[in-house]
Chains A and B, each alone.
Chain A
Amino acid sequence: MAVVSSSGQRLGNRVAIAAVVVITIIFLLPIYWIGSTAFKPRNLATTAPPTIVFQPEISPFVKLFTKRVQLKPNEKIDVANAPWWEQMIFAGGERISRTGKGEIQLSGYPDRFINSLIVAITSTVLAVGMGTITAYGFSRFKVKGEADLLFFILSTRMLPPIVVAIPMFLMYRAAGLNDSHLGLIILYTAFNVSFAVWLMKGFIDEIPREYEEAALVDGYTRLEAFRKIVLPEAATGIAATAVFCFITAWNEYAFALILTNKKAQTAPPFIPSQIGSGLPDWTVIAAGTFLFLLPVAIFTFLLRNHLLRGMSFGAIRK
């Protein structure tokens, strides 16, 4: 019996592993597609069947970051003295546009990328910070109407956000927040803070209050106890919450499209706008998307230990 059940178990394990592998491949396929397209020459990007083996090149990234103009029919170019990365552009029938002083003109992408970073990081810090403090208050003190307040906070997430897009647009225009970093930061913070409160409350509820009380008795103030005891204990929850808030803010498309157009525009609405008219250059789109994926991947990778613990011990499990 024992033998049968243990070999049955082993078989079960193998099936589980096989399933995980298959699912992982399915999830990674689009990322592979984007990643490989980002390194393809333009003429291989849209072949059918797709080209698997090719000589990778970084011309899509060069194109992503620069402004280019079509070569005129008999324009003379100094191919031999041009830098190697510009030579790839010549091959596509274009050249990099320069100012009168000969400086390379950048495309809109780097600014949009930096906008995305500013907005996502700031709103994440604000949402997680405010969420943690609010959750601590709800968790540790008697708050009048606690259940109602918590429900109200949650209820702000019950409406699909796009429903309020037009009122938001009008309000932002009246308040002068259109196309500003501050506007997006406020929006994303407000959107994430309810989520952060609920998530963090779950984590903080699980930290025994005896630890803080011991610190209070040991001669520390409430604030010191919070900083020295609660914050380190809540690190896992904070990391998990931060990742979720960051992803939400980083990926947000609809409001960014409506509320920004240039100065504060983030990467999500910018990238598809580059499809433009005529034949789209999919390799450039793929390069922009590929770079856009990296911050979330890096952020999540750095916090992976916390996330795993958070998943198995924290509020998300419930």
Chain B
Amino acid sequence: MARIRLENIAKSFGNHMAVGGLDIDVADGEFFVLLGPTGAGKTTTLRMIAGLEKPTVGRVLINEVDVNAWGPAERDVALVLQQYSLYPRLSVRDNLSFPLRSRIRGLTQPEIDARIDYAAKTLRIGHLLDRKTDRLSGGEMQRVSIGRAIVREPQVFLMDEPLSALDAKLREALRSELKDLQMRLGATFIFVTHDQVEAMTMGDRIAVMNKGRIIQVGKPQEVYSHPVNTFVASFVGSPVINLIAGQVAGNAAVVSPGAFELPIAGGGREGRYTFGIRPEDVKVEQGAPVVARVHDIENHGIEKVVTLRIGETLVRANVPARVAIGLEDEVRFGWNAEKVMLFDADSGVNIRAA
């Protein structure tokens, strides 16, 4: 097992910088998630760890050893991709044994069989072993891909959106299976995704990336409750956080004077801000201070996400499904003053986060 450290890594393709100034320290046995929108540089980062791409500057360290000069084979990492992970025209069993037959491993046939058995049992793919890979469903394929990583017993598992191509149900199932597996193996996982739900549910820690840079690293709860800027705030969490432009006056957030004024805990220096409040912290109830009209309703099963309109301003709120509510109804709402985030109106930086 291994600790992975990236030191001031940058990677340019031509004069386009894909990744810049990256510092990451992944602890041994940690489930580390790289989260970010498309083009953020997640795959590039992963490929540099795997040795498929050389950093333009900076160092990659595995267990504190500089591996920049090592090829992928020597790094002893396993890679699972979204697709093209399995060799076509080989059976599942041959796919699983392929990495084990490499000369650098020099395993005997009984050892190979034992490892395949173990992986097949762990992932419940025993019945698929003699199938050709093009006869597998998407979920089975990804299971086998993960199996091909497991049999290697590598130092690190690198996964690049392994679940993205699957349907929602399967993704959910494999999500918990993967997390389970990681805990049982006690292995270091670096997991790339653009799906914040995956990141929140699986990660021990999350690194949120954007445009080749790391914006914030932290435990899921930290990233969720204390995003360092509006980008992280709106990227993490569903339904999306409300970002509302307004002023601070004393202990109140003033969005539109007289019509939309609500308290904020701790107050702040007077001036223009962007207020952040998550929909679950917006309370629709009788007797609340602000009057609004119902602009839109989305049903999410046990909850509704209601969009409220106050003049020009729209605010999303979570409302229990049983509450009867109709479009254009007049409602009142308030918010949890403790949960209001203050972002600089220009830079979007959270002025309260460290």
Give the interface of A toward B (CB within 8 A).
Answer: 208, 210-211, 213-221, 229, 232-233
Which of A214, A229, A232, A233 lies in contact with B79, CB distance below 8 A?
A214
For A219, list chain B residues within 8 Å (CB). 73, 99, 102-105
Give chain A residues whose Cβ lies under 8 Å from the Cβ of B267.
none
Quick check: is B225 within 8 A (CB to CB) of the other chain?
no
Q: Is the beta-carbon distance between B102 and A220 smaller than 8 angstroms?
A: yes
Interface of chain B residues 122 through 153 with chain A (CB within 8 A)? 148, 152
CB-based contact B77/A211 at 8 Å: no
List residues of chain B with CB within 8 A of the CB of A220.
Answer: 73, 102
Q: Known interface pairs A217-B77, A217-B79, A219-B73. Does A210 touch B84 (Cβ–Cβ under 8 Å)?
A: yes
Chain A residues whose C-beta falls within 8 Å of the C-beta of B85 in the assembled complex: 210, 214
Q: Tell me if B52 counts as interface (CB < 8 A to partner A).
A: yes
Tell me what chain A mostly uses at the interface: helix, strand, loop, or mixed: helix
Distance to closest chain B CB from A10 (angstroms): 32
Cβ < 8 Å to A, chain B residues 85-107: 85, 87-89, 98-99, 102-105
In the complex, the answer to whether A218 meets B99 with C-beta atoms within 8 Å is yes
- A217 and B72 contacting across the interface, CB-CB below 8 Å: yes
Binding site for A on B (CB under 8 A): 50-52, 71-73, 75, 77-79, 81, 83-85, 87-89, 98-99, 102-105, 148, 152
How many Å from the CB of A146 to the closest CB on chain B? 14
- Across-interface contacts of B104 in A (CB, < 8 A): 219
**Interface pair A233/B88, CB less than 8 Å apart:** yes
Is there an interface contact between A208 and B72, defined as CB atoms closer than 8 Å? no
Structural contact, A216 and B71, CB atoms closer than 8 A: yes
Task: Provide the bound-state CA to CA distance between A229 and B94, in Å.
Answer: 13
| A208 CA to B84 CA, complexed, in Å | 7
Inter-chain contacts of B105 with A (CB < 8 A): 219
Kindly state the separation between the CA atoms of A229 and B71 in the bound complex, as whole angstroms: 18
B89 proximity list for chain A (CB < 8 A): 232-233
Minimum CB–CB distance from B245 to chain A (whole Å) comes to: 45
Contact B98 A218, beta carbon cutoff 8 Å: yes
Chain B residues with Cβ under 8 A from A229's Cβ?
Answer: 87
User: Shortest distance in angstroms between A314's beta carbon and chain B's nearest beta carbon?
Assistant: 16
Pairs A–B under 8 Å by Cβ, sample size 10: A208-B84, A214-B85, A214-B87, A217-B78, A218-B73, A219-B99, A219-B104, A219-B105, A220-B102, A229-B87
Q: Which residues of chain A come closer than 8 Å to B72, judged between CB atoms?
A: 213, 216-217
In the bound complex, CA of A221 to CA of B103 (Å): 10
Nearest-Cβ distance from residue B81 to partner chain A, whole angstroms: 6
- Indicate if the CB atoms of B73 and A213 lie closer than 8 Å: no
CA distance A216 to B72 in the complex (A): 6
Minimum CB–CB distance for A144 against chain B, Å: 13
In the complex, what's the smallest C-beta–C-beta distance from A215 to chain B, in angstroms?
8
